[in-house]
Chains A and B, each alone.
Chain A
Amino acid sequence: MRRGLMAGKRERQRFGCGEAARARRMGVFMEIEVTGIKKAYARKKVLMDITFSLGAGSCAAILGSNGSGKSTLLSILAGVRRADGGSFYVQGRPNETGRQADGRPARGQEETRPVPPRGTDLLRHPGQIPKVLGYVPQGDPLMEELTAWDNLRMWYDRETLKRELSEGALKLLGIDGFLKTPVRRMSGGMKKRLSIGCAVVSHPGILVLDEPSAALDPVCKENIREFLDGYRKEGGIVLMATHDAQDLELCNVCYVLKEGRLHPWRYDGDFHRLAEELCEKRGHSL
């Protein structure tokens, strides 16, 4: 008992405290640094000088009114759209990521989290993005006619899929309960969980979600939040665009996207104040 406490003390001394420290204790060292991202559609500037950085174990929310550019920003980071300028670096140590301090794989992670070569600007090398980042777009990126199994098989090889279903991320998402169900017969929550399941195929260190809890019932939202919380606690970085106050409880960083710029926001549980802030910028009243 005493030996265990001492070991814990040594780890705390080595890695520090808090969520990021917890992630580092588990051997995950991943950081993202986004600098000066710009994007314009025709003459309309949607994003101007978007700059932020996030460390391992962070969960960041991007808030903003409809059409403010949240989805555009996320899709640029995911490599779907091309930015007009800026950079996006992901740093980490490949030999240690995804492993606990004693060298064993982190819980639910049989494989290490991949990282791109040091100094790679992912906006210039979008081919590296799928290795480090999982993206869940706003709609459901699924084939309606196929079952959950068929959709997953598109991304996972058979062995990995079975392993993930029995003890990995897919088990945490509860996908094994509706494997044979065609997507068109699934509820919104099932589809969202399956979408996330497809996105985390490469054990990405970063998970980008565009309004993950939109149009879901409270139980489904809670399931997804639990998964994201676990993901973040294991050193993953979660970045989501959301309009949902409950999602913010999960996040330790909030940003408001206004007039193309990202402003840090301290969420104090008062969602009404946030709404006022957004309306003020749009010239509306609540």
Chain B
Amino acid sequence: MRQTAAYFLAQLKRAARLLPGQILVDLAVCVCVGALACLLVTQGAAAAEGSRYRIGMVGDLSDSYLGFGIAAVQETDDSRFMVELVPMSEQEAEEAFLRGELYAVMRVPEGLMESIIYGENDRLITYTATQGQQGLGTMVMGEITDLASTLVTCSQSAIYAMQRVLLDQGRGEETGRETDKLNLALINLVLARGGFGEVEVLGYGDGLSLELYYFSGMILLFLMLSGLLNSALFVHGNGAFSSFLKARGVGAFRQILGEYLAYLLLVTVGLAVLCLPLGFGLERGLFRIPEWEGMGAAPFLAFLPVLFPVAVLFAALQFFLFEAAEGIVNGILLQLICGIGMGYLSGYFYPSAFFPEKMQSLGAFLPSGAAARFVQAGVLGKIPAAAWGAVFLWLAVFLLLAAAVRKGRMK
């Protein structure tokens, strides 16, 4: 045991010698990861809040009631946040569609209004979209078309029907007033449509906001890829040293333990380096996380202990990958492939809910998924025993595998 401790101390000395350069590299990577995080959050927020489907409306839009209906949809309905209806000529629509500026073209057939007035309703609005597959966008567009049909055609049908009834009853002078009243009633109906149902936003990953989701995802990704930064510790590894240690009574598992603890030190320092600018940014309000709004860096500091078990797990994963790979270059490549692949599957880049169910299950099973669940639970303040168990199980698996590889190599 004394020799294991001595070996660990020697490894610590090595790690300490590598630290200054290591910190510089960590800082450089922090900047890159931070930029990526900002990009993702900005894009995600735009996708969630700002971007709208632009739909060109062509055909017979001359009827005043149709124009009024479109204006009502665009100005008052909740769908205005998602859809922009742009009246344009057939030629303009075709060009814009080919340029990719339009998501779809909605064609109102000639005589639609007359058809509606006479109750024939035999003219259909045609909808041409750029995507044929049954995606989210197509589904939304289907809904929008239904909505437009319902609001525009049904409301106009109601108005024309009312006008005909009034004329038939000899109350032609009331037509204007009653039409206004019905229009107002329909507008009120449209305005109140948002209150028909209650929308509950669960958020990503057990209820985190987009910002916090990506924030934790980026920290996890950094930890996952920190093996690339800490590879210096493995540059001078040689088989002779392992054999010598074994001959001196330090077996494979004790070798791995001594080296792993030193490696963990480097990973922890890297994490600390990452946390400094993040904490500073939160304290100064340089970026905002809705859950931590107005609380400065305090919630982040409280969140840090949650990251340590994850750092311990990822350090073991990286250590195993370096041990399993032949040579430092292969080790770095393996780190990169595994880091990005596992991070992607476990939803570090995009919320895992976007993926098919089987991929979600795989992503959750992977060590990266176990880490993500652990961190997300930690942010919410309660980490279940299963999350702890998964982290420590993977930790044990990686250390034992690394020891087995070392032992096999010595044999």
Q: Which residues of A contact B (CB under 8 A)?
A: 75, 78-82, 127, 129-130, 133, 135-146, 150-151, 153-155, 184, 195, 198-199, 201
Contact = CB atoms under 8 A, between A and B. Distances in A.
Chain B interface residue number, banded: 20 to 34
Contact of A79 (B13, B236, B239, B246): B246
B382 interface: no
24 contacts: A75-B243, A79-B246, A79-B249, A81-B410, A127-B249, A130-B249, A135-B243, A137-B239, A137-B240, A141-B241, A141-B245, A142-B241, A143-B241, A145-B13, A145-B236, A146-B13, A146-B17, A150-B10, A150-B13, A154-B6, A154-B9, A155-B3, A184-B236, A198-B244
Contact of A145 (B18, B240, B249, B411): B18
Contacts of A140: 238, 240
B99 interface: no
A141 B244 contact: yes
Given A140-B240, A145-B236, A78 B247 contact: yes
Contact of B410 (A80, A138, A142, A151): A80
Contact of A139 (B14, B18, B240, B249): B240
B177 interface: no
Contacts of B13: 145-146, 150
B374 interface: no
B14 A145 contact: yes
B263 interface: no
A151 B11 CA distance: 10
A23 B70 CA distance: 109
Contacts of A78: 243, 246-247
B244 A135 contact: yes
A154 B243 contact: no
A245 to B, nearest CB: 24
Contacts of A82: 411
Interface in B1-49: 3, 6-7, 9-10, 13-14, 17-18
A155 B245 contact: no
Interface string B115-127: 0000000000000
A154 B6 CA distance: 5
B241 A79 contact: no
Contact of A80 (B17, B18, B243): B243
B358 interface: no
Nearest to B250: A130
Given A81-B410, A145-B18, A146-B17, A154 B247 contact: no
A155 B248 contact: yes
A136 B248 CA distance: 10
B262 to A, nearest CB: 11
Given A143-B14, A145-B14, A145-B17, A138 B247 contact: no
Interface in B261-275: none
A195 B238 CA distance: 14
A150 B14 CA distance: 10
A127 B249 CA distance: 6
B6 A141 contact: no
A34 B240 CA distance: 24
A144 B7 CA distance: 14
Nearest to A82: B411
Contacts of A146: 10, 13-14, 17
A82, A150, A184, A198: residue with the most chain B Cβ atoms closer than 10 Å? A150
A129 B247 CA distance: 7
Contact of B240 (A130, A133, A141): A141
A154 B243 CA distance: 15
Nearest to A133: B247
Nearest to B248: A130
Contacts of B238: 139-141
Given A146-B10, A154-B6, A154-B7, A80 B246 contact: yes
Given A81-B411, A130-B249, A143 B10 contact: yes
Contacts of B9: 154
A145 B241 CA distance: 13
A281 B285 CA distance: 78
Contacts of B17: 145-146
Contacts of B249: 79, 127, 129-130
Nearest to B238: A139
Contacts of B246: 78-80
A130 B247 contact: yes
Contacts of A150: 10, 13
Given A127-B249, A153-B6, A155-B6, A137 B244 contact: yes
Given A137-B243, A154-B6, A199-B244, 13 more contacts: A78-B243, A80-B410, A129-B247, A133-B247, A135-B244, A140-B240, A141-B240, A143-B14, A143-B241, A145-B13, A146-B14, A151-B10, A195-B244
B251 to A, nearest CB: 9
A144 B244 CA distance: 15
A34 B100 CA distance: 82
Nearest to A199: B244
Contacts of B7: 154
A153 B247 CA distance: 17
